[in-house]
Structure 1
Amino acid sequence: MTDAVPAAPSSSAGPATRTPRWPVVAWGLWDWGSAAFNAVATTFVFTVYLTSSSFGPKSATTVALSNALLVAGLVVLVIAPITGQRADASARRKLWLAINTGVVVLCLALMSLVKADAAFLWLGLGLLAVGTVFYELAAVNYNAMLAQVSTPKSVGKVSGFGWGMGYLGGIVLLLIVYFGFIHPDVGLFGVTSTDGWSVRVAMLIAAVWFALSALPVLFAVPENTGLPGRAKVGLVGSYRVLGQDVARLWRVNRHTVYFLISSAVFRDGLTGVFTFGGVLAASTFGFSAGQVIIFAIAANVVAGIATIASGPLDDRVGPKPLIIVSLAGLIVSGTMVFLFHDGGQTVFWIFGLILCLFVGPAQSASRTFLARLIPAGREGEVFGLYATTGRAATFLAPAAFGIMVTIGGEPYWGILGIVFVLAAGLALLIPVKSAQPAVS
């Protein structure tokens, strides 16, 4: 890292000039397309398909899925920081975004080969695990490019736009694949569920969707300039350099480290809101499968609009107040869901959608908070640490959810587990300083 930390937003956010519109739109389109992996592959379609009875007992397939994603998470944990670091140093950030995205697109396309048969389970899990690793690596480079498409005055607006595009893109793609192929007995082009074709064709659509959406950023945004003062090192040497840089980061900009820790905690709570939202809707509030999907679409609409709208507020008041207000809103609305669960579906619709108002702004502002702290040229490395710390904390929300369900004996008690994780993240965030004086 550098030997001084700026007191104002760092130069990593670019010069204080007007942000060109087309590069911002092109950058946001990658997030729009990434819904192909986030929403279709890992959340609502392919993972549900792999854990269906076609692939074996649900308990066994669920454990296998969990193990595959655990391995993928461990790989990301180990390699994300050095891949970002190497892209920073070599001026190949955009190149590696293209390569990593290309691997994800290939995995999505190959998922169309996974027939509804137990013999294809491990092929599906392998593709999902590999896709997860390369998606996370692509996201490191993508997040680092925020500095190249924004200025200190617009970084919040740009980040909010990109994150909101991801939510809205997920809605559009889910509507296409669900009502075009999965929901009807005979979908578009005569596709049926025989041999899993409805899902398999959906994965091809997802692959094309991501590929086309990812192309603009590769042409509209220039490559990063690199770090000319840093000598080239091998793979092992990259870990040594990483250790030196983290040690210097701790000495010079300790609050960046504090933020990485606090954000890892509250980001896992944010993930838990969506991960367990459908489970609670069905188990506690009596939503049917169709009602869950309708709520998911409404939730993504609310989250997407709120995230885009919060961007200018981020630039005006700063990301930390926005994160604090968002986490407080999540804690209060989550507690209301718990306290008034006897009110049935109306309660879940009201407070569930209020929850979704705050998730996206907290996620986007977390990204801009870090972007404002990173010294110029180190974005990939620090966002790699952001990915690593996030992976290190992914057990918190599931564990807290499970513990509270065990204590209370009912699924709705799990809401308190998510609330506790969010509250812990908020408590860790409050002492973190947004900017520090320069230190020699």
Structure 2
Amino acid sequence: MKKIFNFALYDFANSAFTTIIITFIFATYFATQIAPNPVLGQTYWGWTIGITGFFIAIIGPIAGSFADKKNKIVFFIRCFSLLCISFTALLWFSKPSQSYLLYTLVIVGIANFFYELSLIFYNSLLKDISTSKNLGKSSGFGFALGYIGGIVILLISIKLFIDTDSLPFGLTKEESQNIRAIALLVSIWFLIFSIPFLFFVIKETKKKITKSVSSNFMDLKKLVWNRRFSVLGKFLIARMLYADGLNAIIVMGGIFAVGVFNLEIKELLKLSVLMNVTAFIGAFMGGVANDRFGSKIVIIFSLVGLIFSSIAILFIYSKSAFFFLAAINGLFIGPVQSASRVVITSLLNKSNQGKGFGLFAMSGKLTSFLGPLLVSTVTFLTNSQRIGFSAAIILLLAGLIILLNIKKIS
């Protein structure tokens, strides 16, 4: 249990980056105070995350294969985590002016790139800290603790930097110092809570691996295709599509809420806390359901729930109705993420975990630019955030259809 907790603690640490920087506070700050207007803000933000995903798709499998060969998984987790933390801290310099637009996008893109790379190697260790009987619970617990981390840092951000007239450390609200300081808080949070996992729990293995790099690349091919698509290959295609849709919802959600429902910053933060609470519940329950009913059932059920709640959001105008449906969305996001990680872990042996999660990252990022890019481009062409957001639902549906045609995942 101690190993599982320490593994999950890293989720607790890194959730600050996605919750605060990518989805809610900093994304909204960029769209409303740095970009010319929220529509262009959603467009530029989506394009940036999409470009990051394209590079992850190319580099992820290569890095995973190299890590398996050289036993450098732990080194890569440490290196990429610290780089993400460092670039996140640089967002302190992103002042509320269009002259900082390019700077902010570049720094966010680089930080997100290193964050996504760190996840490849972090996910590959799930099999090392779990047994075949508790893979679902272990993965679900990690995501659940991550959502708790998101809730806690949101509440701290609100209390210390937003919903107060007395800012700490001599800060003022001039030039949005209070919002920019939250980027520093995220960096410190990520660093402190990842230290136990990064430096005192995980250790490199000493086993000798003699395979050549070319042999490792042949193994990558065989994992996905051997005269026909393997179960893993089929699942990765399905996951590629629904992950694109999910990524678009997560990345663009905060900007969508502000632009369509005119949420103020305090309302947006309340929404974020609410979604993290329901996501925590969903991740925990999904982990238990995963071990009992199987990953495929959990993913299908959750995708159906996501699709229907997302469609409903497009046709409502009430803030209270939006809060309710967003909470329902949160309930289904955690199980999809957790169960997908379990599928990859269960389909691979320990010697292929790095390669497998490199492919897992590629399936989530090869076309990850497609989700934000579609949402951003349709938003730009129609000048409607509602119509733009519908592109994410189409991707969820496409992934679900392919998943339903995979007879057995084992």
TM-score, reference length from structure 2: 0.88
Tell whether 2:384 aligns with 1:384.
no
- Of 251, 258, 262, 2:226 maps to 251
Matching residue of 1:210: 190
CA contact under 8 A between 1:80 and 1:385: conserved in structure 2?
A: yes
User: What CA distance in whole angstroms lies between the structure 2 residues aligned with 1:307 and 1:382?
Assistant: 22
User: Which residue does the alignment assign to 2:135?
Assistant: 155
Look up the equivalent residue of 1:314 and give its one-letter code: N
- Superposed, 1:278-297 pairs within 5 Å as 278-285=254-261, 287-297=263-273
- 2:300 aligned partner, one-letter code: I
Unpaired runs of 5+ residues, structure 1, are 1-20, 232-237
Q: Is the 8 A contact 1:258 1:432 kept in 2?
A: yes
The answer as to whether partners of 1:55 and 1:119 remain within 8 angstroms in 2 is no
Matches of 1:421 and 1:110, distance apart in 2: 33
Offset, 1:327:
1.1
User: What letter matches 2:233 in structure 1?
Assistant: V
- 1: CA distance, partners of 2:39 / 2:291: 47
Match of 1:156, as an amino acid? G
Match of 2:164 in 1: 184
Which blocks of at least 5 consecutive residues in structure 2 are unaligned? none
Against the structure 1 CA distance between its residues 245 and 111, is the aligned structure 2 distance closer, same or farther, given a 3 Å change threshold? same
Q: Does 1:43 align with 2:23?
A: yes
For 2:292, the equivalent position in structure 1 comes to 316
Secondary structure at the counterpart of residue 377 of structure 1: helix
State the secondary structure of the residue aligned to 1:432: coil
Change (3 A) 1:215 1:403: closer
After TM superposition, give the deviation of residue 265 of structure 1 in Å. 0.7
Q: Provide the rounded CA distance (Å) in 2 between the counterparts of 1:34 and 1:376.
A: 24
Distance in structure 2 (CA, Å) of the matches to 1:50 and 1:350: 26
Contact kept, 8 Å, 2:46 with 2:372, in 1: the verdict is: no
Residue among 280, 305, 329 paired with 1:355: 329
Q: Distance in 2 between matches of 1:286 and 1:41?
A: 20
Structure 1 residue 372 displacement after superposition: 0.6
Matched with 1:327 is 303
Match among 223, 238, 248 for residue 272 of structure 1 = 248
Map of 1:18-417 to 2, 5 A cutoff? 21-53=1-33, 65-66=45-46, 68-116=48-96, 120-218=100-198, 219-224=200-205, 228-231=209-212, 238=213, 240-241=214-215, 243-249=217-223, 250-251=225-226, 254-285=230-261, 287-338=263-314, 341=316, 344-398=318-372, 401=375, 411-414=385-388, 416-417=390-391
CA distance in 1, matches of 2:88, 2:379: 35
Aligned-partner Cα distance in 2 for 1:318–1:432: 14
CA contact under 8 A between 2:343 and 2:409: conserved in structure 1? no
Tell me, in whole angstroms, the C-alpha distance in 2 between the residues paired with 1:202 and 1:292. Answer: 15
Q: 1:49 to 1:336 in 2, by over 3 A?
A: closer
Tell me, in whole angstroms, the C-alpha distance in 1 between the residues paired with 2:80 and 2:96. 28
Matches of 1:143 and 1:181, distance apart in 2: 33
Distance 2:41 2:254 in 1: 19
Task: Indicate the structure (1 or 2) with the bigger Cα radius of gyration.
Answer: 1
Which residue of structure 2 aligns with residue 431 of structure 1?
Answer: 405
> What are the superposed Cα offsets for residues 390-429 of structure 1, whole Å, 9 maximum, x if unpaired?
1122244346656887999965455644332222111111
Contact 1:152–1:372 (CA<8 Å) still a contact in 2? yes
- Determine if contact 2:54/2:369 at 8 Å carries over to the other structure: no
CA 1:141–1:65: 2 relative to 1, 3 Å:
same
Question: Partners of 1:90 and 1:144 in 2: how far apart?
Answer: 15
CA contact (8 A) 1:104 1:131 kept: yes
* 8 A contact 1:171–1:301 mirrored in 2: yes
Which amino acid is the alignment partner of residue 146 of structure 2?
G
- Matches of 2:215 and 2:27, distance apart in 1: 38
Q: Percent identity?
A: 29
Counterpart of 1:309 in 2: which secondary structure?
A: helix
